A = this chain, B = another copy of it.
Amino acid sequence: MATGSGSTTAEHLRAALDGPWGSVREEARIQLAGQEFTGDPYLDYKAARARVLDQMRVIATLGYAERGFRRENGGTSEPGAAVTGLEMLAYADLSLWVKAGVQWGLFGGAVENLGTERHRDYIRRLISLDLLGCFAMTESGHGSDVANLETTATYDLETEEFVVHSPTPSARKDYIGGAAEHARMAAVFAQLITNGENQGVHCLLVPIRDEQGADLPGVTTSDDGLKGGLLGVDNGRISFDHVRVPRENLLNRYADVAPDGTYSSEIENPSRRFFTTLGTLVRGRVSVGGAAAAGARVALSIALRYAMKRRQFADPDSGEETVLLDYRSHQRRLLPLLAKSYAYAFAQNDLVRRMHLVQTGQDLEPGAQRALEKRAAGLKVAQTRHATRAIQECREACGGAGYLTENRLVTLKGDTDVFTTFEGDNVVLTQLVAKELLTAYADEIRDLDALGWVRFAATMAGDVVRKRSGVRQLIQTLRDRGDDGIDEGDLARRSVQLQLFADREDYLVRTAAHRLRARAEETGPFEAFNNAQDHILAAGSAHIDRLVLEAFIEGIGDIEDPDAKALADDVCDLFVYTMLEENSAWFIMHRFMSVERAKAVRRGVNELVDRLRPHALTLVEAMGVPETMLRAAMLDDASVYERS
């Protein structure tokens, strides 16, 4: 299917999936293809960590880190390229990606976004790895509930220092990447207390180890040891026993403490200050979703390529053994996951572009930052959930071979498994998305306190969300474009598909609000919230699904090559039909879909996997994981697995 321009369909499609920073991806495919950036599962965990640190030192020379920092801080101010470039590390090894993310994204991001000129020198040092840091937010006792962290940073006017302390066993910092071995300094989130008053959670820099790697006085680090994956990441714990740091170590972009202990902040509302602080760290969530999706693409590339080689059971008609991917059940296992991977790739590109515009000051719309946070949270959930399911399915679809470490799927599974948890637990993040919808962006009650938002949500108007989101406009555009013909209800029309997704979202948000209102009058707000929790989570998920479909549609709109576009359209249909099938009970129960239509959806999935089967290799190639980076022994061992 070569086209006039000399590119293949797969190349056109890959260019579309590569998105706005395609050249960064292309460069990375060459730079990172070598064996030196892979993990070695046979190393013990100490050696694996050392290997990753060595790899980091090479990566630090390649310009990946600088992109993520502003020019005045020694960077090149390209946040979109930064996230995209680092995401490519995930193709090589997810431990390396996490390590880079902790150093440059989380630790570096905290210093860059929460610090001021006085912290600038740290940034130059952390880019070059002269300074290794960690991001000490989570505690053993509080992970999701960051506002109630227990670590304290108490200002001592006598010495103009903060005293950082872990007052309880549950206040110890935990799961902190870098804390077990490599980090010399921690960006510590703690309750800031000055003049006897608690000003809430703030971040300050605390040296934790000396040059030789020994704990500094008052600091006790320990090792989280082995995990479900990420062998090369040194997660650990930190406890503080009245550790003193200079006043200037407070990252004082949004709030400061004067030498005399006076607290000041440009943001008066404490809750808003807290969320502004956390909001600057949005890049972490953007990155986690992207890396999870990258892991899923590697797994699907492996499982689909294997499914095109491996044969089992003879076809009685021909006597020939059947290739796995020719079985209906195998197509249904893997191709809908491929369609989801396409959908998330477009959605992630769109998210990174939005993040880039906000973070480079090109998007100054009020509410842009907040909309970005919601979208990042939602796509983090969707992509990490997708990765967990898809990689599991890939493992099982490759049978015993899939279970061998040499075929990489189990490593991908173990490494990405925690992605549903870190940078925000998926349940909590889905709730966050739903709360944003329910409160229709009302700034004043944006609070983790159930009381406030339940009261507010209970009074909200209804379909504010949809009015704002522009989905109606997109549906209208699609109709105007003439995609819709005679049969308005035809499920194959994009506008009808999008309408179904939007209807579901609207209905769930509206009825969740109604349910909260009805309940809140009878019971307390917590009871009301808790009783409706499954409903609220469904509303959040429906919103995410709609955003993803919009991004997919818009992504296809940019494809010029007709063959590539036609193929992408079929994949988009499979994505839509798969999502409709997964939610068909809901659609029927709420009268958005007739029983006949639901049956047509199921048949549609079968027809689409049939139609896409001949293009499977093209679709895999277009996902853009180079064959050289797959590193699954079974794909290379033709004499064992291939027969004709």
Which residues of chain B come closer than 8 Å to A140, judged between CB atoms?
401, 640-641
* Given known A328-B534, A406-B225, A414-B410, contact A595–B589 (CB-CB < 8 A): yes
Q: Quick one: which of B400, B448, B606 contacts A534, CB cutoff 8 A?
A: B606
Chain A 555-595 near chain B by CB (<8 Å), digits 1 or 0? 00000000000000000000000000000110011010001
Tell me the smallest distance from the CB of A39 to a CB of chain B, in Å: 12
Whole-angstrom distance from the CB of A239 to the nearest CB of chain B?
A: 11
Known contacts A41-B226, A643-B170, A420 near B396 by CB under 8 Å: yes
- A326 contacts the other chain (CB 8 A): yes
User: Contact mask A350-388 → B, CB, 8 Å, 1/0?
Assistant: 000000000000000000000000000000000000001
CB distance from A495 to the nearest CB of B (A): 24
Cα(A228)–Cα(B138), bound, Å? 28
Of the listed stretches A16-24, A113-121, A479-487, A525-533, chain B binds A525-533
Q: Which residues of B contact A641 (CB under 8 A)?
A: 140-141, 170
User: Is A427 an interface position by the 8 A CB rule?
Assistant: yes
Check: A395 CB closer than 8 A to any chain B CB: yes
A141 and B640 form a contact (CB under 8 A): yes
Could you say which of B312, B396, B421, B425 contacts A426, with CB atoms under 8 Å apart? B396
Given A417-B395, A589-B599, A640-B140, also A317-B224 (CB < 8 A) = no
A6 contacts the other chain (CB 8 A):
no
Stretch from A59-67, A73-81, A86-94, A142-150 contacting the other chain: A142-150
A478 located at the interface, meaning its Cβ lies under 8 Å from any Cβ of chain B in the complex: no
| New A-B contacts (8) at CB < 8 Å, excluding given A143-B312, A172-B640, A317-B524 | A141-B641, A144-B313, A145-B312, A226-B406, A228-B409, A322-B526, A328-B530, A395-B417
| Complex: A393 Cα to B495 Cα, angstroms | 36
* A400 & B422 in contact (Cβ 8 Å cutoff): yes
0 or 1 for each of A384-407: is its CB under 8 Å from B? (1 = yes): 000010001001100111111110
Kindly state the interface size class of chain A when it binds its partner: 35 or more
Please tell me if the beta carbons of A332 and B534 are within 8 angstroms of each other in the complex.
yes
Interface digits, A212-250 against B, CB 8 Å rule (1 contact, 0 not)? 000000000000111111000000000000000000000
Residues A304-323 near B (CB distance < 8 A): 312-318, 321-322
| A142-B401 Cα distance, complex, nearest whole Å | 11
A643–B145 alpha-carbon span in the complex (Å):
14
Answer yes or no: A464 CB below 8 A from chain B CBs.
no
| A420 proximity list for chain B (CB < 8 A) | 396
Chain B minimum-CB-distance residue to A588: B588
Mark each residue of chain A from 405 to 447: 1 if its CB lies under 8 Å from any CB of chain B, else 0.
Answer: 1100110011001101110011100000000000000000000
Say yes or no for A549: interface residue by CB 8 A criterion.
no
User: B410 touching A425 by the CB < 8 A rule?
Assistant: no
Q: Which of B224, B228, B399 contacts A425 (CB 8 A)?
A: B399
Q: Does A537 contact B (CB under 8 A)?
A: yes
What residues on B are CB-neighbors of A313 within 8 Å? 144-145, 148, 448, 450
Residues of B within 8 A of A400 (CB): 138, 143, 174-175, 418, 421-422
State the 5 A-B residue pairs at the shortest beta-carbon distance, nearest first: A228-B410, A226-B405, A585-B585, A316-B451, A169-B639
Please name all residues of chain B whose beta carbon is closer than 8 Å to the beta carbon of A225 when the two chains form the complex.
42, 404-406
- Quick one: which of A13-51 are within 8 Å of B by CB? 41-42, 44
User: Does B421 contact A640, Cβ atoms closer than 8 Å?
Assistant: no
Residue from the list B228, B316, B326 in contact with A405, Cβ < 8 A: B228
Chain B nearest CB from A559 CB (Å) reads 31
CB<8 Å pairs between A and B, sample of 29: A42-B225, A140-B640, A141-B640, A144-B312, A144-B313, A145-B321, A168-B639, A169-B637, A169-B639, A170-B643, A172-B640, A175-B403, A175-B404, A225-B404, A226-B404, A226-B405, A226-B406, A228-B403, A315-B450, A315-B526, A317-B524, A329-B533, A396-B420, A400-B421, A403-B418, A414-B414, A585-B588, A588-B589, A589-B599
